[in-house]
Amino acid sequence: MADIPEERSAGNVSIPPQYIPVSSTKFAVEKFDGKGNFGMWKCEVMDMLVQMNLDFTLEDKPEDLDDKSWERINRLACSSIRLCLVKDQKYAFSEQNFAKELWQALEDKFMKKSIENHLYLKKRIFHFQHKKGASMNKHLNDFNKMIADLKNLDVEIDDEDKALLLLNSLSDTYEHLVTTLLYGKEKIKFIDVSNALVNNEYRKKDQIVHKESMSEALTVRGRINPRRFRGQGRSRSKSREESSNRQYLAKDECAFCHKKGHWKKDCPIKGNKEKDEPTMNVARDEDERDSAFMVSSLENHSGEWILDSACSYHMCPNKHLFSRLEEFDGGVVLMGNDDVCEIKEIGTIHLKMHNGVVKTLTEVRYVPDLKKNLFSLGVLESSGYKIIMHGGVLRAIRGALVVLRGTRKGNLYFLNGSIVTGIAAVSKSIEDDEADNSRLWHMCLGHAGEKALQGLVKQGLLKGVKTGKHGFYEHCVLRKQTRVKFGIAVHNTKGILDYVHTDVWGPSKNESIGGNRWFVTFIDDFSRRVWVYMMKHKDEVLDIFLKWKKMVETQTGRRVKTFRSDNGGEYTLDHFFKVCQDEGIKRYFIVRKTPQQNGVAERMNRTLVEKVRYMLSHSGLSKVFWGEALSYARYIVNRLPSAALNGRTPLEVWLGSPANDYDSMRIFGCSAYYHVTESKLDPRAKKATFLGFSGGVKGYRLWYSESKKVILSRDVTFDESGMLQQEKSQEKEKQSVDA
């Protein structure tokens, strides 16, 4: 801090009274080091100059002041300003003897009014967001600092715009308050918004402090009703006997030692006894038999976790159990006796569950004053888990997976598991929810590879997945094993439909549901988008090609220019040549018995058939559904990243934007329950099997086995977790057989 000395005299110079510096003044201004907030420092120095009656030195010389007096006053002002700079910053401003020049030099160095600074500060304030856990006062201070910095750059923001920018910086939790502030108003003031936000925060804190039901230890006190506990060790006659023998206390008699002259809370005997006893986590009642339940521990087991339904967050008092910690302004925790425990930090803890799977607890509060680790069941339930308590066992279930188990001790549930620290937690990460979610998406996308999943994860298209790693998967190895590939030829196409590949696959030994044994594919070389058409005979290729050509040319406004195929008879018909000649389509063929020259189409057919094989294998459906699996495989391939497109998807290149329908995708062959309306007493849903989607219809394609028909419905509930659970059970059975 810079202490500004008192001005005792202006020397022998004659100065008009209105320009004489104020004497007997002392100010403390924080020294500026060139890195802090220059705008705030500038404001403090200006206040100091005003108090010292030296602020006029930042303007032009007054006419009624002689040169000698003007120089004397400026030296005083410059020295006062330089005293507010750290030593390293004084060197650059030691030559200025006039306050206006010094002030301008400081602004030129630390407050450049360039267009880059304008852009930087405006981007900061437009993207400014309230940080989770930060107090509203801190948020307002940060906002006002940015407004002040813009004002120093001569950027004025209207009061209403400031209010709207402040509202825009709030999170979704303030949505109700924002709606209330804006409802029915044509204009809004910044001061009204800031006051409302601060008052709202104070009101929430008061509600928490005075909330009687908030308790960390879950203690329920009161007398046991003997009528509710008949036959449990206390007969009615015994209760009456105890009641008759109960002693009534005198007016000034202690309820603990029965001596007169003090109350129980001031009893010296009780105080000494409590000091000698081990620490209890929950206070006992006067009569231990009168507690419905209580928590008492003679040892502090730091690894035990209490499953608490009244706990707002996961909490832990043991800092060494955290694998990661960071500073956090999270307020306080209220105890059962209204004591307050401060939340110091927030972090991550790894827990090994009852089945050996390592789970990661995020946003765990570090509260040093607690006595036990608390696992919040409320956080678990809000994340989509179902909590079941029965027979002394607590289970948390998601679908068919039991992810957490707890055992009742006394009247509290304790987690079945242990804490994992260090490298062991990282080595098991493939077994947690991330692996389950990655495997679900892996199956949902037709058993797509890890590289394709990681590409979609980077684009933020797959919910619940962070890495895309799913580990070894036997179905993929058994159905996708191939020979070493040939070299890849690159076609430098400049737009969609400039170069099209095609190939026919078949015949299949098994007819599809529609009686088809063949299919033909058309692949656009530029986007790698694929179209698949089922056929009963090979001679349908030309008709299908003409229909496909008319469709894509109408949709895109472009024309097919080049067409590559093998030498199959369906492509070498005279009529096929004449159609291409009339349309101006250039034809390319391959050398006989060299399918590698039509590699794009051949590899696409191989990819589609591979997906059909492992979708049928994983779902357990018969081979008659290969046509349905093929249609869904085509749907998936167009939405998977392609190496030929540098990680982009075919639909993204074809349409110009990524597909946004990943949430509607399901695992082929999973159980589906579609809505029906029959008689009033009949079920409202029937069980079917998911087969994919139908073109031009916003609904799911389902197979209803009882009627042996394909059903189209949009009101469907899916059960995908059963397939994942079945897959894990099969893996465990195989491991036990191998062992």
CA-nearest of 518, 511, 617, 504 to 566 is: 504
Q: Distances in Å between the alpha carbon of 136 and those of 133, 230, 313, 534?
A: 9, 55, 21, 62
Contact 699, 713 (CB under 8 A): yes
Contact 218, 308 (CB under 8 A): yes
Question: What's the 3-state SS for 213-224?
Answer: CCCCCCCECCCC
Q: What are the tokens at 133?
A: 């856990």
DSSP-assigned beta bridge partners for residue 316: 366
Tell me how far apart the alpha carbons of residues 129 and 254 are, in angstroms, rounded to a whole number: 58
Q: Distances in Å between the alpha carbon of 529 and those of 124, 175, 518, 711?
A: 41, 42, 20, 28
Backbone angles phi, psi at 247, to 5 degrees: -95, 140
DSSP-assigned beta bridge partners for residue 360: 350
CA-nearest of 175, 210, 213, 177 to 192 is: 177
Contact 377, 308 (CB under 8 A): yes
Contact 518, 509 (CB under 8 A): no
Which residue's structure tokens are 């196409």?
Answer: 493
Q: How far is CA 417 from the centre of its chain?
A: 26
Q: What are the tokens at 714?
A: 């949009």
Question: Angle, nearest 10°, between helix axes 38-51 and 136-152?
Answer: 80
Name, in order, each residue with C-beta under 8 angstroms of 736's C-beta and a sequence gap of 6 or more. Answer: none
Tell me how far apart the alpha carbons of residues 454 and 473 are, in angstroms, rounded to a whole number: 17
Backbone angles phi, psi at 392, to 5 degrees: 80, 10
Catalytic residue, from 158, 206, 308, 539: name it.
Answer: 308
Contact 125, 148 (CB under 8 A): no
As a whole number of Å, the end-to-end CA separation of the chain is: 74
Contact 601, 521 (CB under 8 A): yes
Q: Report the DSSP pairing between strands 386-390 and 373-376.
A: unpaired
Question: Which H or E run contains 74?
Answer: helix 67-82
Question: What's the 3-state SS for 503-518?
Answer: EEECCCCCCCCCCCCE
Contact 122, 150 (CB under 8 A): yes
Tell me how far apart the alpha carbons of residues 694 and 635 are, in angstroms, rounded to a whole number: 10
Contact 20, 72 (CB under 8 A): no
Contact 133, 329 (CB under 8 A): yes
HSE, side-chain direction, 13 A CA sphere, residue 728? 15
Q: Distances in Å between the alpha carbon of 547 and those of 330, 528, 542, 544, 560?
A: 64, 19, 9, 5, 13
CA-nearest of 28, 19, 32 to 102 is: 32
Q: How far is CA 253 from the centre of its chain?
A: 60
- DSSP assignment, residue 22? P
Tell me how far apart the alpha carbons of residues 356 and 417 are, in angstroms, rounded to a whole number: 8
Which residue's structure tokens are 């029937």?
Answer: 686
Longest dimension (CA), the chain: 120
Tell me how far apart the alpha carbons of residues 654 and 215 are, in angstroms, rounded to a whole number: 58
Q: Distances in Å between the alpha carbon of 663 and those of 15, 464, 660?
A: 80, 11, 8
Known active-site residue 33: no
> Which are the catalytic amino acids?
308
